[in-house]
Amino acid sequence: MKVIPAIDIMGGTVVRLVKGDAQNKVVYGSDPAEMAIKWEAAGADMLHVVDLDAAFGTGSNAEAIAKVVSAVKTPVQVAGGIRTPEAAREALEKKAARVVIGTMAYSDPEAVRKLAKRHPGRVVVSIDQAGGMVMVKGWKESAGVKVNDAISQFVAIGIEDFLLTSIERDGTLAGPDIETLASAVAFSEKARIIASGGISSLEDTIRAKSVGCAAVILGKAMYDGRVSIERVKAIA
């Protein structure tokens, strides 16, 4: 199981939100590149860098993300507001080891299929779920599709990696949605599930591993010192 710390960027700073609420945030640093270097030194397998302003449609942190990529050798997975094929291609060609596609995947799956064919193994589809339904556009609207139906749809067009986030638990330290994660892992042998949302302890990461998740995203619990990359890697 890979260990992937999250670096969420808003207004050029490193933040964590609660349930994706931009009004409910904690700032953890003013230099995303410096944070990336810290997590790389701790042994991160990959960095999950999210442009929250782009996700909310309020701005861009492209410059800050470029600095993160330049600062580390660890692969960087870029997410947030990548809603056109051109934006995805630009990210892959200039800075990202992988891109995470959310809203565009559900509005234009054919574009995602073409992107995945052109960049095999470098496209991740985001499944941000609340109550079992996929949410899009900064977690504000329903895509009208259930979690496992989304997995089925995208596996059929060549996607293998899925970032499964429980919106209701994200930033809450309430523990991961193990039931949904386990269901997704069991649903398709072709899908690699990255667990995100609610991780609060080493025990939570062990539970994610035990149900077969391919990777785990560490966020608030890591920033608050409740769990460390080193300890998670020891069991991963």
- The catalytic residues are 8, 128
Task: Tell me, letter by letter, the H, E, C secondary structure of 72-133.
Answer: CCCCEEEECCCCCHHHHHHHHHHCCCEEEECHHHHHCHHHHHHHHHHCCCCEEEEEEEECCE
Q: What is the 3-state secondary structure (H, E, C) of 124-178?
A: EEEEEEECCEEEECCCCEEEEEEHHHHHHHHHCCCCCEEEEEECCCCCCCCCCCH
Report d(CA 22, CA 53) in Å as an integer: 9
Q: Contact 229/222 with Cβ under 8 angstroms?
A: yes
The crossing angle, in degrees rounded to 10, of helices 109-118 and 85-94 is 20
Question: Which residues, 6 or more positions from 203, have their beta carbon under 8 angstroms from its beta carbon?
Answer: none
